[in-house]
Amino acid sequence: MNRIVVSLDVPTATEARRVARSVGEAGAGVRIGPRLLNRVGPAVIATVQSEAEVLADARIGGSPTEVVAAVRALASLGANWVTVDGAIGPDATAAAAEGVATYGAALLATTVPPEAPDPPGGRGKAVSALAQGLAGTGIAAVLGVAGDVGVVVQVAPGLPVVVYQAASVPEVSDALTKGALAVVVDAGIARAADPAAAVAPYLEVAPTA
């Protein structure tokens, strides 16, 4: 997985492809989040997948049958990684991981969304419980905030963490130093006149794993 993944916070598939080509050539992957998926449709994955590795951050939830069908559909379009809501449970997550593997893709499961209120007992306790339950499901990593890295390392040391919502080079460097597998950067790179130049400082602090 690319150590740096750039959020494609752009309005069209054409612009998404232009940015993906620029940062992909520089050595970064791209994240297609719910906003772009809803605005343009899942076909945007197929539009950009030849330009850069794609994280389809759909955070899919629902019944096991619905989850498996949805993640397989995104993987079939060329997504390298697909996300599900970690709250769907270990059994559904394991089925989804098996489903995307058919297409050579990998699954990430989210921890507690940062915008959500702290669960009873606190965020750390909830993330710990999720990580323990997800550790044997076949996922490639959990997707969480920087503060989740230490929690996951303690309770599920073999389970990598992909950190999202990083907005500066120091934040990226700190997350990687703490042991993050990769970092999703949301710092206006996709809106820059030269996305490759904008992502370069982030790549400099993220040597190849």
Tell me the C-alpha distance between 11 and 52, whole Å: 18
The one-letter code for the residue type at 90 is: P
- Region 185-190: mean pLDDT is 92
pTM of the entire predicted model: 0.95
Going from N- to C-terminal start, the domains of the chain cover: 4-204
Looking at the predicted structure, is the pLDDT value of residue 144 above 70?
A: yes
Q: Extract long-range pairs of 112-119: CB within 8 Å, 24+ residues apart.
A: 112/144, 114/145, 114/165
Task: Report pLDDT digits (tens) over 4-54.
Answer: 999 999 999 999 999 999 999 999 999 999 999 999 999 999 999 999 999
Looking at the predicted structure, is the pLDDT value of residue 113 above 90?
A: no
Looking at the predicted structure, is the pLDDT value of residue 209 above 70?
A: no
Would you state the pLDDT for residue 199? 97
Nearest by Cα to 203 from 54, 25, 33, 19 = 25
Residue range 4-204, CATH number = 3.20.20.70
Identify whether the C-beta of residue 156 lies closer than 8 Å to the C-beta of residue 135: yes
Nearest by Cα to 29 from 173, 168, 208, 174 = 208
